[in-house]
Structure 1
């Protein structure tokens, strides 16, 4: 059973961090490049993918934290990997339940125009920038987690 738990830890970490990098830095830019004439469609598809990886992040972070706590007990709270996952989880929650709904509302409020052609353009651009920075931080923390602090559970 311990081997399965260890394997699931590795799978959850790989799925989450790999998904963050694949969607954020490969898929989303490719969508905008391929659908250059239809930025609204590219944005809708990218938004849906970011939402999906957010849900993956919630599930994976829950497993990673539970694994670490069950394996190490309260000692887990003195380890970098535990706190990196906590911060990544918090960034996921902020993005999924805070910023993404706000961006969706701004798009809806701009209808029938595209948000970037409306008076809401600046607000949307600001919140999109905040979202991008938080995503970059989350991705960098994930890379740090994978490369340096992978599994400090004993």
Structure 2
């Protein structure tokens, strides 16, 4: 049973971090390269980031639940568990802190694209904060992958 939990946890970490990287580092930039309408590209990218955020919340909760099932109170003695908590906090800040402000600015600017409106500089600042938040998620995701591998090797005696 423990082996199955370990496999599930590894697959969920892989899915989450892979989704973060592919969405932010591949899909979103390609949308802006392929679509001439930057506002449409931003709308589509926003929906993909939203789906990635909700998937991340589910993945993080599942990873922590499996850790607690396996390790009980010792779960939070492991660096990987705290990395997951940090990732979840960043996802929550992005999805429920930064994104609503950006959506509000887009709505206020309508019918103009937000970057063509008087709100463009404010939107750019919030967007920059969201980019930093997302890049931190990608970085913590990479650290999580390595930390899990290191902790597993240590637990196996190698």
- Is the structural similarity TM-score above 0.5? yes
Unaligned regions of 5+ residues in structure 1, if any?
none
User: For the Cα contact (< 8 Å) 1:106–1:124, is it kept in 2?
Assistant: yes
What's the TM-score, normalizing by structure 2?
0.91
Q: Matched residues in 1 for 2:87 and 2:66: separation?
A: 16
Q: Matched residues in 2 for 1:116 and 1:128: separation?
A: 11
User: For the Cα contact (< 8 Å) 1:23–1:49, is it kept in 2?
Assistant: yes
Q: Could you say what secondary structure the match of 2:118 adopts?
A: coil
User: For the Cα contact (< 8 Å) 1:28–1:46, is it kept in 2?
Assistant: yes
- Tell me the number of residue pairs that the alignment of Structure 1 and Structure 2 aligns: 153
What is the aligned partner in structure 1 of residue 53 from structure 2?
Answer: 54
Give matches, 1:101-112, under 5 Å: 101-112=100-111
User: Shift in Å at residue 151 of structure 1?
Assistant: 7.4
Give matches, 1:13-28, under 5 Å: 13-28=13-28
Q: Matched residues in 1 for 2:151 and 2:60: separation?
A: 15
**81-90 vs 141-150, greater mean Cα deviation:** 141-150
User: For the Cα contact (< 8 Å) 1:81–1:150, is it kept in 2?
Assistant: no
RMSD between superposed Cα atoms in Å: 1.4
Encode CA deviations 1:114-153: one digit per residue, 9 max, x unaligned. Answer: 0001111111101100000011011001011112334737
What's the TM-score, normalizing by structure 1?
0.94
Give matches, 1:45-84, under 5 Å: 45-84=44-83
What is the aligned partner in structure 2 of residue 126 from structure 1?
Answer: 125
User: Shift in Å at residue 94 of structure 1?
Assistant: 0.8
